[in-house]
Chains A and B, each alone.
Chain A
Amino acid sequence: EVQLVESGGGLVQPGGSLRLSCAASGLSFSGYSMNWVRQAPGKGLEWISYITGSSSVIHYADSVKGRFTVSRDNAKNSVYLQMNSLRAEDTAVYYCASSYGHLNYWGQGTLVTVSS
């Protein structure tokens, strides 16, 4: 069974930083691209980042470009999202999701709240 488990969310002040982690099991991790998708409270889904299995290709949504950095460690079956210069509008549940084409497996998400 495939499992993706996010961690690292919490309350942070505007301008602060947070690092999210996503631990994967049950899949050949290095063979999958990984994504981060967020969902603000009561809102829709927003794709924010993508990294290929070898980390050779990385993409970001314009809304987070220059502030967020995605990385992965295939030896640890994990993907990370370093979030800097956080804003109130970054408040959301953050999901990691694997992709082989579409986003096929999703974690349960971790809540990030940016507030003073």
Chain B
Amino acid sequence: DIVMTQSPDSLAVSLGERATINCKSSQSVLSSSNNKNNLVWYQQKPGQPPKVLIQWASTRESGVPDRFTGRGSGTDFSLTINNLQAEDVAVYYCQQYYNIPRTFGQGTKLEIK
């Protein structure tokens, strides 16, 4: 199984500042067939299902503000949120869809400082 490890577990950032969440996979999730990283970022707010922010490690979903940026390749990835807004308070998860089982990171709780 591919183990996904996020850091930090929690993060407090001031409004308007930048937050960065890291995600590391125990093996590469780069697909040789399409040269894309099978890595997705979700945002989950209390009482809600996860919402897709970014797929293929760096492709923002339609409607997601451009404050959210995904980067990385192979085994090391990051999600950066610029100009933090109050509505960004949530738990963020990375997940690999390179193979089965579809493993998630443990989550990073983002709060306002």
Contact = CB atoms under 8 A, between A and B. Distances in A.
B95 A102 contact: yes
- Interface of B (DSSP majority class): loop
A103 B101 contact: no
A49 B31 CA distance: 22
Contact of B104 (A45, A59, A104, A107): A45
Interface string A38-74: 0000001111001000000001011000000000000
Interface string B87-113: 000010101010011111111000000
- Interface of A (DSSP majority class): strand
A44 B108 CA distance: 10
A50 to B, nearest CB: 6
Contacts of A108: 48-49
A95 B93 CA distance: 15
B78 interface: no
Contacts, number: 56
A101 B97 contact: yes
Nearest to B107: A44
B50 A47 contact: no
B95 A103 contact: yes
Interface residues of B, number: 23
A50 B102 contact: yes
Contact of A109 (B49, B51, B52, B101): B49
Given A44-B107, A45-B93, A101-B97, A35 B55 contact: no
A45 B50 contact: yes
B58 to A, nearest CB: 13
Interface of B: 38, 40, 42, 44, 48-52, 55-56, 91, 93, 95, 97, 100-107
9 contacts: A44-B107, A45-B42, A95-B50, A99-B97, A99-B102, A101-B56, A103-B52, A104-B55, A106-B51
